[in-house]
Chain A
Amino acid sequence: MYRAHILVCGGTGCTSSRSNDIIDEFNRQLEVNGLDKEVKVVMTGCFGLCALGPIVVVYPEGSFYSAVKIDDVKEIVEEHILKGRIVKRLLYREAGDPNAVNSLNDTRFYKKQQRVALRNCGIIDPENIDEYIAFDGYAALGKVLTKMKPQDVIDTLKASGLRGRGGAGFPTGIKWEFTARSQSDKKFVCCNADEGDPGAFMDRSVLEGDPHSIVEAMAIAGYAVGADQGYVYVRAEYPIAVRRLQIAIDQAKEYGLLGKNIFGTDFSFDLEIRLGAGAFVCGEETALMTSIEGNRGEPRPRPPFPAVKGLFGKPTLLNNVETYANVPVIILKGAEWFASMGTEKSKGTKVFALGGDITNTGLVEVPMGTTLREIIEDIGGGVPDGKKFKAAQTGGPSGGCIPASLVDTKIDYESLAAIGSMMGSGGLVVMDEDTCMVDIAKYFLGFTVDESCGKCAPCRIGTKRMYELLDLITKGKASMEDLDKLEELCNHIKSSSLCGLGQTAPNPVLSTLRYFRDEYEAHIKEKKCPAGVCKDLLQYRVITDKCVGCTLCAKNCPVGAISGELKKPHVIDQEKCIKCGVCKEKCRFKAIEIV
């Protein structure tokens, strides 16, 4: 028995700030102090508060240490572990609150969260199947195989109200039922882990922090729809997720939780990983299956839907990682428990990857129906540096912007669609007042242009033309007719593209046009970028009254565009200026303005 557990985050964020070395150092220090038989070091998945990594949590106290450095390890071991004195200096402090918070669950970041899909992330060692089993792992699979008929499983899911967490929100139980009803000698179960939205990383975190939940859920799905083979399609850019999932699959096989005659029944199920090569379009279900088949990842028209004719022409069930992560808990705790969370039409919880101009960058899980304000202000800690919240972008390149005026919107599938955005996979990018909405729309369009597979003309050519029009606007070279043309083009692409990528590509433009049309018009009519972002429309100038001639700006200008004598106001040569903003950043007297 260990009297204390030191949990160190091994998610991608904390790993990149050397949490692996911290684990090694803990083990070394414990040995030095002769504590290695009493205290255990555990690598876990993501705790969610990625902005303050590496995260270390010490149980039984639950002390929550943030931004731990290798040099801090010795102190934690010698003080906390050896003498029982918590190292207050390293405890997490909430923004604007000087008092350290001792325990994880006392933080504002966690208080409003409800962790269902992320239930084991940051609690178990993802590379140890026994720990997953200790937290009810594989009990749902056992229950399903020994006590439930396939139709019972489907009925439970239908009653729970679980909907697809990949973004579109199709009722999961109905999808399973369609696949189960298709007659065929062979069926497949697939998991979409090709998380490609810029700013979204919840699927990665589930795979890294709790890979067995996906293995278990897919086996349950196999039983419910009548499939004996599953594939997880993961992008190769997620090396940690891929490695841990492979470990999980190997362990499950070793325990006989995958393979033949699971739990002594006649149900057999096998699971394999397929790596995606990084094409965004492969997150679209038909393209994903084409890619698994070994062909170029391109979508095809639906119907036939995958439930009828999917992978290798056979009926196939395809769900997203987060959707699967919910399944074992629903089986164990029941449909009613799950349906008691959320709103009328959107049940359960949703994981969001919080990013952009927000204090607590990280991963949060909240019940459906939580308002955007609660997520941003209470959980996310608000916009940093006292700046104003301008808009939030959900759904990545397929989604839209929610303006500050709608910050009290309760988030669920319907309400987001009603205001021109979408749930998407759960990326939530917060933007402050210094963000130019035209520039943002252009950024997302640039992404779509790069990622369009080129199979259909509206998407391949249309998005490119849209990008060109946006480029003209940000350069102040567009007319009001161009704006009309842009809008018309949006509607055409939306209605005529082959797959979801093209159909949703205009959304960033349409939603910014809807809420920030004045910004577009300012670019066109006044040739001004109100947020001061679009370089072609702004100039850096020295405010002569404020400049004391310290020469700091001139020394730092990378192109030598600033000249002037010591102790006399300087001047910026507009011909030479590349508008990098270094002078404004360096000036201590706020003597540089953007006009």
Chain B
Amino acid sequence: MKSLEELKAIKEKMKSQVNIREGGDDKIRVVVGMATCGIAAGARPVLAAFLEEISKRNLKNVIVAQTGCIGVCRLEPIVEVTEKGKDKVTYVKVSPEMVPRIVAEHLVNRQVVSEYTIGAAE
């Protein structure tokens, strides 16, 4: 270890890997519906795509979680994005191809991808 920068680089790299274990409600939660309906509709590749995209961008304030049946099974795979102090955003009929845009526009730039949401679908 020759400099503080080296240490900082390791910390930055690791932080996104361990922040899941820290509490704090300031994180954005990406929740994928993973009940039978969701999995049958292809939720697993969607989840994998989120994980890949988020780690590619090294996002530290995002938690990917899963939940059971959200209720509108016909619109699965469903992905909900929640953030403290903001309304919940529900994306429906999500495919892995849609994930990079959701990550880039919503998680990074904080702009909801309106055309993918349940409001647009209905």
**Interface status of B34 (Cβ within 8 A of chain A):** yes
| Chain A contacts for B120, CB-based, 8 A | none
**Interface status of A500 (Cβ within 8 A of chain B):** no
B7, B52, B54, B55: most-surrounded residue (chain A CB, <10 A): B7
Cα–Cα, bound, A84→B14 (Å): 25
Q: Which chain B residue shows the least CB distance to A252?
A: B1
Whether B68 pairs with A84 at a CB distance below 8 angstroms is: yes
Whether A1 pairs with B16 at a CB distance below 8 angstroms is: yes
Known: A83-B35, A84-B34, A262-B1. A7 touches B14 (CB 8 A): no
Whether A4 pairs with B1 at a CB distance below 8 angstroms is: no
Q: Tell me, rounded to whole Å, the shortest Cβ–Cβ distance linking A161 to chain B.
A: 28
B2, B21, B55, B64: most-surrounded residue (chain A CB, <10 A): B21
CB neighbors of B among A139-153 (8 A): 139, 142, 146
Known: A2-B20, A4-B20. A134 touches B66 (CB 8 A): no
| Chain B contacts for A193, CB-based, 8 A | none
**Interface status of A457 (Cβ within 8 A of chain B):** no
**Interface status of A580 (Cβ within 8 A of chain B):** no
Whether B64 pairs with A263 at a CB distance below 8 angstroms is: no
Cα–Cα, bound, A5→B17 (Å): 9
Whether A135 pairs with B18 at a CB distance below 8 angstroms is: yes
Whether B23 pairs with A134 at a CB distance below 8 angstroms is: no
Cα–Cα, bound, A316→B35 (Å): 62
| Chain B contacts for A60, CB-based, 8 A | 20, 29, 63, 65
Whether A146 pairs with B4 at a CB distance below 8 angstroms is: yes
Whether B55 pairs with A1 at a CB distance below 8 angstroms is: yes
| Chain A contacts for B74, CB-based, 8 A | none
Whether A5 pairs with B21 at a CB distance below 8 angstroms is: yes
Cα–Cα, bound, A37→B64 (Å): 14
> What count of chain B residues pass the 8 Å CB interface test?
32
Whether A61 pairs with B65 at a CB distance below 8 angstroms is: yes
Q: Which chain B residue shows the least CB distance to A40?
A: B17
Please tell me which one of the listed residues A59, A62, A84, A135 contacts residue B67 in the complex, with CB atoms under 8 A apart.
A84
**Contact digits for A101-132, partner B, Cβ 8 Å, 1 yes 0 no:** 00001000000000000000001100000110
| Chain A contacts for B16, CB-based, 8 A | 1
**Contact digits for A1-21, partner B, Cβ 8 Å, 1 yes 0 no:** 111110100000000000000
Q: Which chain B residue shows the least CB distance to A258?
A: B1
Q: Which chain A residue shows the least CB distance to B16?
A: A1
Whether A139 pairs with B23 at a CB distance below 8 angstroms is: no
A61, A134, A142, A256: most-surrounded residue (chain B CB, <10 A): A134
Q: Which chain A residue shows the least CB distance to B15?
A: A134
Whether B47 pairs with A263 at a CB distance below 8 angstroms is: no
Whether A62 pairs with B23 at a CB distance below 8 angstroms is: yes
**Contact digits for B9-37, partner A, Cβ 8 Å, 1 yes 0 no:** 01101111110110100000100001100
Please tell me which one of the listed residues B4, B18, B68 contacts residue A85 in the complex, with CB atoms under 8 A apart.
B68
Please tell me which one of the listed residues A131, A262, A263 contacts residue B18 in the complex, with CB atoms under 8 A apart.
A131
| Chain A contacts for B66, CB-based, 8 A | 3, 83-84
Whether B7 pairs with A1 at a CB distance below 8 angstroms is: no
Q: Which chain A residue shows the least CB distance to B30?
A: A3
| Chain A contacts for B52, CB-based, 8 A | 1
Cα–Cα, bound, A167→B51 (Å): 48
Q: Which chain B residue shows the least CB distance to A38?
A: B51
Known: A62-B23, A257-B1. A134 touches B65 (CB 8 A): no
Please tell me which one of the listed residues B10, B15, B17, B29 contacts residue A2 in the complex, with CB atoms under 8 A apart.
B17
Whether A124 pairs with B18 at a CB distance below 8 angstroms is: yes
Q: Tell me, rounded to whole Å, the shortest Cβ–Cβ distance linking B94 to chain A.
A: 16
**Interface status of B3 (Cβ within 8 A of chain A):** yes
Q: Tell me, rounded to whole Å, the shortest Cβ–Cβ distance linking A135 to chain B.
A: 7
| Chain B contacts for A61, CB-based, 8 A | 65
**Interface status of B48 (Cβ within 8 A of chain A):** yes
| Residues of chain B whose beta carbon lies under 8 Å from any beta carbon of chain A | 1-4, 7, 10-11, 13-18, 20-21, 23, 29, 34-35, 47-48, 50-52, 54-55, 63-68
Sample (27) of A-B pairs whose CB atoms are under 8 Å apart: A1-B51, A1-B64, A3-B50, A3-B51, A37-B48, A38-B47, A59-B21, A60-B63, A60-B65, A83-B68, A84-B66, A84-B67, A84-B68, A124-B18, A130-B10, A131-B18, A133-B11, A133-B14, A134-B14, A134-B17, A134-B18, A142-B7, A255-B1, A256-B2, A261-B2, A263-B1, A263-B4
